[in-house]
Each structure stands twice: as structure tokens, then as C-alpha cells.
Amino acid sequence: MADGNHSEPPTVLVLRRSPTIALLEPIVSQKFNLLKAWDSPLPQDQFLTTHARSVQALLSSVGGLPITAQILHLLPSLKFIATTSAGIDHVDSAECRRRGVAIANAAKAFAEDAADMAVGLFIDVMRKLSASDRYVGDGLWATRGNYPLGSKIGGKKVGIVGLGNIGLEVAKRLESFGCSVLYNSRSEKPSLSYQFYSNVCELATDSNALIICCALTEQTHHMINREVLSALGREGVIINVGRGAIIDENEMVEYLVRGEIGGAGLDVFENEPDVPKELYALDNVVLSPHQAVATHEAIVALGEVVTGNLEAFFSNKPLLSPAVIN
């Protein structure tokens, strides 16, 4: 699988210096020689062709370049991709499977941080924290009086879409608030007492809020559509810390503008960093710039997972967090 020569640090290709890669660089470069495509004056294709025979491992992030079939074709010696995210929708996983390229993801490195953000967004929307902060900051408390009532968290039925590492952490937090947890996932988890729904629309019908924690795949793209939003209803709230395209964003914006769902807390969007401008003026919507896992602690944990996976690959040992390739 990998070269056994350890006289020099193994080389790992990085195509683009995304914000996450920039934060990880000091950690990963302690043990690996990072081959930085952005430092080369050569056009990308020419750069990749130049290093085609030597590159066995690649470090990739969501904010970097997507790993397409074309890129994989230019890297015939590539055997391993380490990603900095839980999801691998930025990698052509079918082509990786065809070429025998293994993929490792971030696993549990930032599950707690993403769950904190999901629950934080839920509380913010329900209790109107950001909106009431603006109300006070704009001097409206003194002139208009008390702000409209919010909604209690405890007792709410919350549907979690995707009960993986992040979803499970969300569920644990919601239980401590006295919420009833319902869920939809690829398969039922019999060891858990939460109620399972194989149909997201039925989950939405029975939930006061939906929290999206699943990966973006062909199956989950626009899974939250008009039918699901209608089932969620006028009082229902939607929170998304997964990927923007899991929700049909145009439909959601319409429903929010018309008051046909109760509110939204969104950390991810379909065409980042572009956010639908209609959302800016809505007091029942809380927006975050894809920051769910952006903590100092998460970057340290992520650095350990990425480094550990790369060390495992170059030592011919099992990966710490092999990604499930559909």
C-alpha cells in the first residue's frame, strides 16, 4: 500500500489552502511533508501530472477543491484520501471505490461541537435570543415595550435526521432538556429507546422541530422538500448542521417568508458563502457561517484524527476512521 522508507517524512498532497487546512497545517506538517499545490506556479493539471507517480496520499477539506474523477485520473498512484469533515460529499467516492482509493473521515473529532451548535441554534430560534438581542441593541425595548413570547424547550418532540456521531450527541443534549427524541436514520438502532421513523415526512408530522445531522448523499439531496416542510407545519422549526443541499433551500425560503413553518437555525447553505437574502430580515431565522465545528478544541482533535489516519496508512495499519463509501 505505502512506501516503507521513513528516512524522510511521507509526502501528502494538498490541493487548496482552505480555512480548515490552514488551521491544520502546523499540526500535520510536524510529521508529514505537505505538497502544496497552491505554492506552485504550474497550472493544476500540469502540477498533478508532474507529481502523479509519487503522490499516494491526499489531504482534503470541504472548503478546498472537490476531489473529482478528473483529479483522481491525474493521480494514478493515489491510494488514500484523508478528509477533514464527517461527510465525504466533496469526494467522488464511486470513482475512489473503482480505483481502490481508501477514504478516512473526521469521525467523532467534532461531534460534540457540532451538537452544541445544533442545540444552540434550536434554543436561539425557540427563545428568540438573537432577535431579542437586536431588539435591545436597536433601542426598541424602551420605545416598543416587551418582546414577543418565545417557546419552551422542555417537552418538545424533536426529530433528528441522521443518528450518527453528531446526531447521538444532539439526542443526549436534548434529553437533558426534557425533550422527546425521535429519529430517522439509514437503519434503526434497536439498542436505543428513541422512536425510529423510516419516513422523514412522518417524522416531520410528529415533531415540533427537525434537526438535520445526516450526510449529503444522492439519497439525502433535497430530502427536506415541500412535502416534509408542509408536514412540519406552521409552528415547526428546522435546524441544519449537516449540509445545505439536504434541504431544498428555495422551498424552505418560501415557507419561511410565507410563515408556513415556524423558524429555522441554519449553519449550512446550498451555495456557500451565498445565503438567500430573504432570510436576513426574518426574526425567526438564525444564520451561522458554517461554524458548527469551529472551536479550538475541535481543530486539535481533528489534527489528531487526520495525523493518526495518515500514520496508519503509511504504516500499513487499519485506518482510525474509514469512511463508509456508498
Of 90, 173, 270, 290, catalytic: 290
Best CA proximity match to 92, nearest among 110, 14, 268, 83: 83
Other CB atoms within 10 A of residue 231 CB: 18
Of 243, 249, 251, 270, catalytic: 243
DSSP symbol at 277? G
226 belongs to the catalytic site = no
CA–CA separation, 209 and 222 (whole Å): 18
272 belongs to the catalytic site = yes
Where would I find the beta strands (DSSP E) of 31-147? 33-36, 57-60, 80-83, 102-104
* 3-state secondary structure (DSSP) of residue 209: strand
- What type of residue sits at position 66? P
CA–CA separation, 222 and 110 (whole Å): 25
258 belongs to the catalytic site = no
Contacts 24+ apart (CB under 8 A), 262-265: 262/125, 262/233, 262/234, 262/235, 262/236, 262/237, 263/125, 263/126, 263/237, 263/238, 264/125, 264/237, 264/238, 264/239, 264/240, 265/118, 265/121, 265/122, 265/124, 265/125, 265/237, 265/238, 265/239, 265/240
Best CA proximity match to 289, nearest among 241, 223, 239: 241
CA–CA separation, 307 and 24 (whole Å): 10
Of 272, 278, 297, 304, catalytic: 272
Peptide bond connecting 322 to the previous residue in cis, omega within 30 degrees of 0? no
Q: Please list the active-site residues.
A: 243, 272, 290
